[in-house]
Amino acid sequence: MASHRRPKQPSRTRVTVLTATAAAAVALTSQAAQAAPKPSKSEVKAKADALFEEAEAATEKYNGAKDKQEKLQKEISQLQDNVARGQDELNTLRDGLGSLASAQYRSGGIDPSVQLFLSSDPDDFLGKTSTLDQLSARQVGLLTKIQEKQRSLAQQRKEASDKLKDLADTRAELGKKKKEVQGKLGEAQKLLNTMTAKEKAALAAKEERASRDSARSALGNAKPGSGLAGAAFSAGQSRVGSPYVWGATGPSSFDCSGLTSWAYAQVGVSLPRTSQQQANIGTRIYSQSDLQVGDLVFFFDDLHHVGLYAGNGQVLHAPRTGTDVRYESMSTIGGPFEFGVRV
């Protein structure tokens, strides 16, 4: 028989204990939230700068993939043009052999050897020495040219196919690096957005003062550059104040290797696209005291940052997203000076 007794109500003491426990938990949570200190302005900047450095390293890899893609596209286009011309030449050779067959038909019938060629592969045909004996010298010459042209076209088509596959892989890598750069920049911007407008203005003013001090040090006491390096440095100076934009090569915006390659291009010197590639040209200079104005200077162990030496321990460079082309002390770049390169 079912029971109709009312469920037992919790005692007043139990309710009091539960309420007190819940209140204590809320208080502890509130205290924990209050205990988490807000990062200082310098901490936020340090974290954001670290992300900007990671983004720049990814940018140079992106630049390398983009440069490779452009070169592959040019090579593929050239190969495709060569294949098209080669096919036209092959068709002309075949037409020539066909004309011989027509002439033989009009003069009394087609040579069996020509009939054999017109209905089978030339490689197989030329392999039959007994058939070769029946050909005229002109026919042998035509068939040999056809065979060589077919082999050449097959090789070019294979090369084009391989490069197309490489191009697809490179495009995939390019997309991956682009997402990586954008992700790092987005994280850095979120951090900076936690700062007040006043804090951001104070940081910008501090960086501006540092850039002016570096410019005075470089331009006031350093010996002017000479030769191509000096001329390239002068070109770079003309872009002071231009914004850093990742992947940009000028003339109105730049990333680090974009600035150096643009500056040297103005004096007729073509530099590779990325900082790592630029590190492998010219003569390396390991002592900072031996550097001359206009030399390329490289930072970080993976060489993902490059600038133009400005003299007196200063560098002219495109630092990172959110900054402009400016002068800066080599000691404040954020990574160690590795070496210079004299182009």
Name the least confident of 48-57, 104-113, 132-141, 200-209. Answer: 104-113
pTM of the model: 0.68
Does 2 map to a domain? no
58-86 CB burial, b ≥16 within 10 A, e <16: bbbbbbbbbebbeebeeebeebeebbeeb
List the structure tokens of 108.
């009394």
User: Do residue 180 and residue 270 come from a single domain?
Assistant: no
List the alpha helices (DSSP H) in 193-237.
Answer: 197-221, 227-237
Provide the greatest CA pair distance for the chain: 125
CB 326 within 8 Å of CB 240: yes
Residue 17's pLDDT band (boundaries 50, 70, 90)? very low
pLDDT for 301 beyond 80: yes
Does 48 map to a domain? yes
User: Do residue 186 and residue 209 come from a single domain?
Assistant: no
Does 145 map to a domain? yes
User: Do residue 69 and residue 184 come from a single domain?
Assistant: yes
Domain boundary, last residue among 148, 172, 191: 191
- Give the N- to C-terminal CA distance of the chain in Å, as an integer: 101
User: Do residue 254 and residue 330 come from a single domain?
Assistant: yes
Catalytic residues: 256, 305, 317
Place of tokens 């054999």: 116
Report the chain's mean pLDDT, rounded to a whole number.
81
User: Do residue 247 and residue 110 come from a single domain?
Assistant: no
Domain boundary, last residue among 136, 159, 191: 191
User: Do residue 181 and residue 79 come from a single domain?
Assistant: yes
Name the least confident of 13-27, 44-58, 271-285. Answer: 13-27
Q: Is the model more confident about 311 or about 105?
A: 311
User: Do residue 165 and residue 212 come from a single domain?
Assistant: no
In the chain, the number of structural domains is 2
Does 22 map to a domain? no
Peptide bond into 336 cis (omega under 30): no
The boundaries of the domain holding residue 215 are 198-342
* Ramachandran class of 270: left when φ > 0, alpha when ψ lies in -120 to 50, beta otherwise: beta
Q: For residue 76, which phi and psi values (nearest 5 degrees)?
A: -65, -40
User: Do residue 157 and residue 245 come from a single domain?
Assistant: no
The pLDDT value given to residue 26: 47
Residue 53's contacts (CB-CB under 8 Å, 6 or more residues apart) are: 300, 304, 320, 334, 335
